[in-house]
Structure 1
Amino acid sequence: IRYFKRVLTDGPVSRINFCTIPERDIGEDIPVYGTYDEEFRNSLKPYIDNLCMASGLVECKEAFHLAEVLKDENAEFSRLSQDRVYENLSFRANVIGYLKACVLYVANGYQWEPEIEDFIRWSERYDIYCKMRFFGDAIKKAERDGDQESKKGPASILAFLPDKFSYQQVETLRLKNDMNAKGTAKMLRNWLHRGYIEKEESDSVTQKLSDSVYFKTHS
């Protein structure tokens, strides 16, 4: 979670297919599941060969139909749960499931079997479960924080000043909005050049910006 905390709402989490491994005690031997001997490699070889020989565009109507079904099921659960994070994560999980189905279809010699559908259905559910289990709450928090920040939105500094104001008032307002005081003079010169404000006339020809009084040319 720490690795993804800065990109929780940017897409990487949804684009990765997640899974877990069984927890074990510290120091225990790494478990090995299944027997991967010569017999296993020989039985797997035809599927690998099919994948290696594949080329061009592959279309599998069964995989597409399954993706449509799972999409509708995900949408139904989203409506019932009213969980926006689940809905967003389900979109990419559905694409991942479809691509997996196409790979298995090709590996199986362009033959669709019920076992492929069963695996894809389980795989997609498991993928979404892992994402919700490990990232769901963090994504929701990041989105809430983002909403709170975005509600402030950009605003015109000039709009917060009275019709007649001093250099010091502008400087104070900049500091209040997390801007540096150093840029006050440059901003005022820009406003003067654009005609947003004018300087109040003074007998002093060499009056500095910091000593001047300004007024808005329009509200």
Structure 2
Amino acid sequence: MKYDISKTTAPKMPNLGHGLESVALLLSQVSKDMHQPIVPMLFPILGAHVSGAEFMYPDLSWKEPSGMLANLVADSGAGKGQLSNIVEAICRDFRSHDDDELAKLVEWQKMMKTKSANKEKPARPDVAFWFPPADVTNAAFIQNAIGCEKLGQRTQYLNMPEVEMADRVCGGHRQISQMMRNIYDRQRAGALRATADGVTGNPTLRANITISSTPFAARKFYKNELFNGTFGRVVFSYKPRQGRDGRIPRQGKYDDDFYLRLDEYLARLAICKGRFIIRPLNRLIDQLAADMASLADLADDDTLWDISKRALVSAWKAGCLLWALNNQTWTKPMGSLVEWLVYHDIWSKMQVFADMLGQDEGSVSEAGRRGPKNLLDDLPDSFNEAQLEALRISLGKTKEGTNAQLRKWVFRKFIVHSPQTGLYTKTPEYLHGVTSDNIPKNK
């Protein structure tokens, strides 16, 4: 593990080296202050350009690059609007396709009006909008999902400039949890209904969604979704408030040369079809899963462990898209970016929701933390059980969890126990390997 996610400073994104030329291109017209916040938001957009491809996750399940949900969180005036600019650039082909689909509907409606009441009405044409408007209703969203499933099992993509727009798509705020989980898990809509034309309305939900919001709006919107699995399914990208430097960030222009190069990458996504196993990516995810378990044990933080599981899946899907964009070839810099995506997601969640995440089941006193705290780092190189117990109590953790935490640390070879002295001592591997290179010290 390379990143210290206990600090208020965002984990620094690695250099965009070999294999990440597509990401560098997409950022080329974005102001520099928005590079890191924008990167995690790119993948739901790109994922909607893939249909007919599945990838094997390390658990041996097959997954599509659909169900990708991401929320950009930043204060008002911080530059969130640049996301909509890059969305329009990437989805230029979607707009063209949807214009043709809309023309079909307009023509059908004209024909409907010309038919008298006793004449047979023409059947509604099969249409599928790939980039529906952000204010689409739940009924229209499901109807479009039917069309997308019937016409090539396409993924529809929605970009919502305000988080509250998700209520309309999901059919009300009470349906947010079920709908977003169904989208993430590629489940059926659960809206089976009978009509004059027969039974309809229960398509597989293939949708990718990006959302923009302020920290206040995000906290208000997700406050009831933090512990039911919905929250973990959404990738968060947080931009902290910047200093008052008095300089207006500069954006670039999406010119013909940009679109010519972009279309080459989008074509690589379009031709990616079949089933694939990206072995170096899967090995990386296995390693990151072990790192997340170690970090959760050091912090004795079940919430961190829970949200890390889906952070790994989301970053893995991004890795699958990077592989396709790079002519189905894997590189080391791509692995570095996937690793950063995991930590940036968790860091963002902790920055925006830390106090709220500390309010479940007896953990209220941990409210106000800004990230997972490495408890072992706050202890001397040799310590006894009472010292850890006192540290846990000072942080609002239970006294009863002390022995279990010590056993985990011994099992992971972070510490060794001396029966003669009763002391626990940090191992050389922890002091010189884990702490300095893998698990950052919390100072």
For Structure 1 versus Structure 2, the TM-score category normalised by the shorter chain is 0.5 to 0.7
What residue is the counterpart of 1:110 in the other structure?
A: 328
Q: Structure 1 residues 22, 30: CA separation in 2 closer, same or farther (over 3 Å shift)?
A: farther
2: CA distance, partners of 1:116 / 1:137: 33
Q: Structure 1 residues 2, 24: CA separation in 2 closer, same or farther (over 3 Å shift)?
A: same
Q: How does 1:1-219 map to 2 (within 5 A)?
A: 1-21=219-239, 23=241, 31-33=249-251, 36-144=254-362
1: CA distance, partners of 2:241 / 2:359: 27
Q: Superposition RMSD on alpha carbons, in Å?
A: 2.6
TM-score by length of structure 2 reads 0.30
Q: Structure 1 residues 145, 20: CA separation in 2 closer, same or farther (over 3 Å shift)?
A: closer
2: CA distance, partners of 1:33 / 1:144: 47
1: CA distance, partners of 2:344 / 2:252: 21
* Runs of 4+ more than 6 Å apart: none
Structure that is richer in helix per residue: 1
Measure how far apart 1:61 and its partner are.
0.6
- Segment of structure 1 superposing worse, 135-144 or 7-16: 135-144
- Segment of structure 1 superposing worse, 57-66 or 14-23: 14-23
> Given residue 85 of structure 1, which amino acid in structure 2 is its aligned partner?
T
Instruction: Report 1 or 2 for greater relative contact order, CA contacts < 8 Å, sequence distance ≥ 6.
Output: 2
> How many aligned positions are there?
145
Measure how far apart 1:143 and its partner are.
3.5
TM-score by length of structure 1 reads 0.59
1: CA distance, partners of 2:347 / 2:295: 13
2: CA distance, partners of 1:30 / 1:9: 39
Measure how far apart 1:106 and its partner are.
1.0
> Given residue 104 of structure 1, which amino acid in structure 2 is its aligned partner?
L
2: CA distance, partners of 1:31 / 1:144: 44
Structure 2: state its 5+ residue gaps. Answer: 1-218, 365-443
Q: Structure 1 residues 60, 138: CA separation in 2 closer, same or farther (over 3 Å shift)?
A: same
1: CA distance, partners of 2:251 / 2:360: 38
Structure that is richer in strand per residue: 2
2: CA distance, partners of 1:128 / 1:11: 14
Structure 1: state its 5+ residue gaps. Answer: 147-219
> Given residue 86 of structure 1, which amino acid in structure 2 is its aligned partner?
L
